[in-house]
């Protein structure tokens, strides 16, 4: 992103993208609630967001010599969360591990968090617009 946008806007944009991915995983679980043998999926959202933000740069590798390979600084767009079978799922008689009530609650929570991040981005952009138009 351009230098006009700070790490907050970049982080919120990454959070929106990951919330969208989480929404797709939850929707897939809900759609397959009656599918025999389907194992509910889970997304590693918080750890992936922490890797994407890396505010202090403590998790990235740096080079100390010109001949070293550059390995860090790929940016938040390249970080993808892990999607795996939910180990907390209880297996039903048909082998399905989707808990529909849990998935519906997770979907509602994810929706609220998505909207909150979107409102924060809108407020940051409104402040930039106010500064750019000299308060007019």
Q: What is the pLDDT of residues 72-126, one digit of tens each?
A: 444 555 567 788 888 888 888 899 999 999 999 999 999 999 999 999 999 998 9
Asked if residue 1 belongs to a domain, the reply is no
For residue 110, what pLDDT is reported? 95
In a domain, 37, yes or no: yes
Q: Domain for residue 39, yes or no? A: yes
Give the separation between CA 13 and CA 37, rounded to whole angstroms.
Answer: 35
Return the pLDDT at 1. Answer: 44
Give residue 70's domain range.
7-132
In a domain, 17, yes or no: yes
Q: For residue 37, what pLDDT is reported?
A: 93
pLDDT tens for residues 24-65?
A: 999 999 999 999 999 999 988 777 777 666 644 555 556 666
pLDDT of residue 68: 58
Instruction: Annotate 67-126 with three-state secondary structure.
Output: CCCCCCCCCHHHCCCCEEECCCCCCCCCCCCCCHHHHHHHHHHHHHHHHHHHHHHHHHHH
Instruction: Kindly state the tokens that stand for 125.
Output: 């952009």
98 is a domain residue: yes
State the Cα angle at 31 between 28 and 35, rounded to 5°: 105
pLDDT at 118: 95
Q: Which is nearest to 120 in space by CA: 22, 11, 4, 18?
A: 11
Spatial separation of the C-alpha atoms in residues 78 and 18, rounded to whole Å: 12
- pLDDT band for 70, please (50, 70, 90 cuts): very low
Look at the chain and report how many structural domains it folds into.
1
This model's pTM is above 0.85: no
Asked, for residue 23, whether it belongs to a domain, the answer is yes
In this prediction, residue 33 carries a pLDDT of 93
């Amino acid at each position: 992103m351009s230098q006009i946008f700070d790490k907050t806007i970049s982080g919120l944009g990454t959070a929106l993208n990951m919330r969208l991915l989480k929404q797709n995983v939850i929707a897939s679980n809900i759609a397959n609630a009656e599918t025999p043998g389907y194992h509910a999926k889970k997304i590693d959202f918080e750890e992936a967001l922490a890797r994407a933000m890396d505010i202090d740069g403590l998790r990235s590798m740096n080079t100390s010599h010109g001949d070293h390979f550059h390995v860090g600084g790929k940016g938040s767009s390249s970080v993808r969360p892990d999607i795996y079978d939910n180990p907390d799922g209880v297996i039903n008689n048909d082998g399905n591990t989707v808990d529909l009530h849990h998935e519906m609650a997770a979907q509602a929570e994810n929706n609220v968090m998505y909207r909150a991040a979107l409102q924060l981005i809108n407020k940051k952009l409104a402040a930039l617009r106010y500064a750019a138009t000299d308060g007019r």
